[in-house]
Amino acid sequence: MKKLLLALLVSAVLAGCATQAQQKYKQLEMQIGSAFRSMDGCYQHVMETPTVHRLSEILSFDVNDPRTVEKLALKRFVTEQEAKDIIDFSVLRKPCNKLAIEKFSEIHPEYVASLARMFSEADADLAKAINKELTIGDVNQRGDDRYNRWQAEFSQIGQRIESQLDQAHQYELTQRQIATQSLRTWAYQQQLLNNQQQLINATKRPITTNCQYIGNILHCTQF
């Protein structure tokens, strides 16, 4: 997950606004920096677990992984133990995913939609890996592609927020609706992954993260 955090601070930098807008974007940049620091700290603890240590032999978690080419070339499917580790990893990172959603909900709902889509796609890929629908190399390739898309998307979000300053209220309402739908899709993918966890009798308890807007505030629960 560390690979998903690098370089996004740079991609989120905004500029070229009027004086009042500059003040708003200065605050936004500070919030984004705080959100990424919180996320990085959370994910770092996950990366240090024995589960992720084992999975790091086959999965690429770091954009600077020196074994990336080797891992992309893996054409085999996961073993039973690796499938259990994948399930445990998905559970271990749930609190960090929840934290990411909550932190970026304080900035703008379009960031929430982007994160929810990324989490949904990642969970879907893990479920397919467990079902032997994707090879290990496929999972790594899709993860790399997703990271690159997310990096570009976060930069584009910043540009769109800037261009929509004069219509900020309606723009935010529209993006909140999009974020809500993305969160529902993520919840569905989590349930599919939880079903796989129950089938293989993994050691970790299934956890589902549900998020919804109440007024202007996003509330997330895990059960």
What value does the mean pLDDT of the chain take? 85
More confident position, 47 or 9: 47
Instruction: Tell me the pLDDT tens digit for each residue of 37-68.
Output: 999 999 999 999 999 999 999 999 988 899 99
Helix (H), strand (E) at residue 48: none
CA distance 94 to 217: 20
More confident position, 45 or 214: 45
Q: In percent, how much of the chain has pLDDT > 90? A: 52
| Burial bucket for residue 80 (CB in 10 Å: 0-12, 13-18, 19+) | exposed
Q: Is the pLDDT of residue 21 over 90?
A: no
Tally of domains within the chain: 1
Q: Is the pLDDT of residue 195 over 70?
A: yes
Is residue 29 within 8 A of residue 14, CB to CB? The reply is yes
Residue 90: which pLDDT band, with cuts at 50, 70 and 90? very high
Is residue 46 within 8 A of residue 93, CB to CB? The reply is yes
Q: Is the pLDDT of residue 15 over 80?
A: no
More confident position, 117 or 169: 117
Distances (CA, A) of 179 to 50, 101, 173: 34, 10, 10
Q: Other C-beta atoms within 10 Å of 208: how many?
A: 15
pLDDT, average across residues 96-121: 94
Burial annotation 44-69 (CB, 10 A radius, 16+ → b, else e): eebeeeebbebbeebbbbebebeebe
Residue 5: which pLDDT band, with cuts at 50, 70 and 90? very low
Domain that holds residue 135: 2-222
Residue 10: which pLDDT band, with cuts at 50, 70 and 90? very low
Tokens of 191: 């349930």
Q: In percent, how much of the chain has pLDDT > 70? A: 85
pLDDT, average across residues 115-139: 96
